[in-house]
Amino acid sequence: MLRVTDLAVDFSTPAGNLRAVDGVTIDLAEGETFAIVGESGSGKSVFARTMINLLAGNGTRTGSIEIGGRNIDGLSKGEAKHFFGVDVSMVFQDPMTSLNPVKRVDAQLTEAMRYHLKVSKSEAKDRAIALLKQVHIPSPEQRMRQYPHELSGGMRQRVVIAMALACEPRLLIADEPTTALDVTVQKSILDLLDELRVERKMSMILITHDLGVARGRADRIGVMYAGRLMEVGKTSDLFSDMRHPYTQALLQSIPNPALRSHSRLQPIPGRPPNLLDPPQGCAFAARCRHAQQDCLNSKPVLDGDGVRQDGHQWACFHPVGTPDGDAALAANLEAGENAAGLPMKEIVGELV
């Protein structure tokens, strides 16, 4: 359904060139959900917007994106107009700012259908009502005549989802669809997306910073850091048998409801690298407990171990759970710091 090959996105800024997405390659099958997890600034939203050809004016893209077998660079201007928003559509994070506050729900819902599908006004209206029903909005006829401010946050996000589905996309990109919502509403929105995905055999890219959300909803997960994919694998593999030290650190830093209260949390020391001046080696090396000299010199490529056939890949020279990774960790503990000079003693206190 979706094939992204070696995608890179650069932004030219007054302070220099900033590479927000760096060499991302993913495949997505029909009906599959792929989650991209990362912290703020990891490039996950830029990646999402690139999929739907929404790059800021100072951005340039290299690498290819194929959606449903069509390379998006091969689309003519006229085709592109009815491709983005029809075959691919997007749900944005904040339902208040992605709806027009001065237009009623019906106008916003029918606009895309009228434009892309050239349906009549009354047909568009009927379809819109059916869509609102599908996203479980009670009394849709009345809701159609309301303005966004008259709806609750959860209702607004349902309207946004209905809009994204209006032209029956084959690929839906959901960029933090539930971040602004309460947990209870979050659950019902995610349930809804799941249900629609199964019903319509739609593929979905779910962008989130919440590992819990990704775990419950995705077939496969990609962990992104500083614009690069650090690890890609089936959801279960990633959580129980992760290879990248960043994935491990990320998981260890969230409070686990299964542990007793006041359990010490394990933060990741340091800060993400400045992308205007990216490190020569692995972007995570400065914060990594496994980092050795080779991590500082060159960037590891995203790869498997050559044995496994399940698509689990990681970009690390000294992965977690391998003899080599254990040796690297032991060597760093011995030396009291990792190759980048990060004191290990301090983290041991935090991490063990």
Partner 1 sequence: MAGSGTAHLRDTDDVLVRVEHMVVEFPISGGTVHAVSDVSFDLVEGETLGIVGESGCGKSTTARAAIQLPKPTSGSVWFKGQDITKLSNEEMRKIRPEFQMIFQDPISSLNPRRTVNEIISEGLRVWGENDSWTLDTIDELMEAVGIDPRYGERKPHQFSGGQCQRISIARALVLDPKVIICDEPVSALDVSVQAQILNLLEDMKERYGVSLMFISHDLSVVKNISDRVMVMYMGKTCEVAGSDQLFEAPTHHYTRALMAAIPGADVAVDDQMLEGELPSAINPPAGCRFNSRCPAATDECRSVEPQIREVGDGHFVACHHPVLA
309 binds partner 1 (CB under 8 A): no
The CA distance from 270 to 123, in Å, is 56
DSSP line for 171-213: EEEEESTTTTS-HHHHHHHHHHHHHHHHHHT-EEEEEES-HHH
Shortest Cβ 284–partner 1 spacing (Å): 11
Q: Which residue has the tokens 């020279």?
A: 317
> Contact region for partner 1 (CB under 8 A) — 15-23, 45-53, 161-169, 260-268?
260-268
Shortest Cβ 61–partner 1 spacing (Å): 26
Long-range CB pairs of 273-281, under 8 A, 24+ apart, other chains included: 273/226, 275/18, 275/19, 275/20, 275/41, 275/226, 275/227, 276/13, 276/15, 276/16, 276/17, 276/18, 277/16, 278/19, 278/226
Q: Judged by CB, which is closer to partner 1: 11, or 246?
A: 246
Smallest CA-to-CA distance from 174 within 286, 85, 91 is with 91
Shortest Cβ 306–partner 1 spacing (Å): 31
250 binds partner 1 (CB under 8 A): yes
343 binds partner 1 (CB under 8 A): no
The answer to whether 30 touches 1, Cβ cutoff 8 Å, is: yes
> Contact region for partner 1 (CB under 8 A) — 3-11, 101-109, 157-165, 186-194?
186-194
The answer to whether 65 touches 1, Cβ cutoff 8 Å, is: no
188 binds partner 1 (CB under 8 A): yes
Using CB under 8 A, pick the residue from 212, 311, 336, 343 that binds partner 1: 212
263 binds partner 1 (CB under 8 A): yes
> Contact region for partner 1 (CB under 8 A) — 58-66, 107-115, 205-213, 310-318?
205-213
Q: Count other C-beta atoms under 10 Å from residue 245's C-beta.
A: 28
> Contact region for partner 1 (CB under 8 A) — 1-9, 110-118, 245-253, 305-313?
245-253
271 binds partner 1 (CB under 8 A): yes
Shortest Cβ 156–partner 1 spacing (Å): 12
Q: Judged by CB, which is closer to partner 1: 154, or 222?
A: 154
Tell me the residue type at 323: P
Using CB under 8 A, pick the residue from 57, 101, 257, 306 that binds partner 1: 257
184 binds partner 1 (CB under 8 A): yes
Shortest Cβ 41–partner 1 spacing (Å): 9
Burial of 185: CB neighbours in 10 Å, binned 0-12, 13-18, 19+:
middle
> Contact region for partner 1 (CB under 8 A) — 14-22, 151-159, 290-298, 318-326?
151-159
> Contact region for partner 1 (CB under 8 A) — 68-76, 259-267, 275-283, 325-333?
259-267
| Strand segments (E) across the chain | 2-13, 16-28, 33-37, 59-67, 70-71, 88-91, 171-175, 203-208, 220-225, 228-234, 313-314
N- to C-terminal Cα separation, the chain:
42
264 binds partner 1 (CB under 8 A): yes
Q: Judged by CB, which is closer to partner 1: 61, or 133?
A: 133
276 binds partner 1 (CB under 8 A): no
Three-state helix/strand/coil letters over 136-182: CCCCHHHHHCCCHHHCCHHHHHHHHHHHHHCCCCCEEEEECCCCCCC
223 binds partner 1 (CB under 8 A): no
Using CB under 8 A, pick the residue from 76, 122, 139, 261 that binds partner 1: 261
Burial of 232: CB neighbours in 10 Å, binned 0-12, 13-18, 19+:
buried
> Contact region for partner 1 (CB under 8 A) — 52-60, 94-102, 122-130, 176-184?
176-184
Residues at the contact surface with partner 1, assessed by CB under 8 A: 39-40, 136, 152-155, 182-188, 190-191, 209-213, 215-217, 249-250, 253-257, 259-268, 271, 350
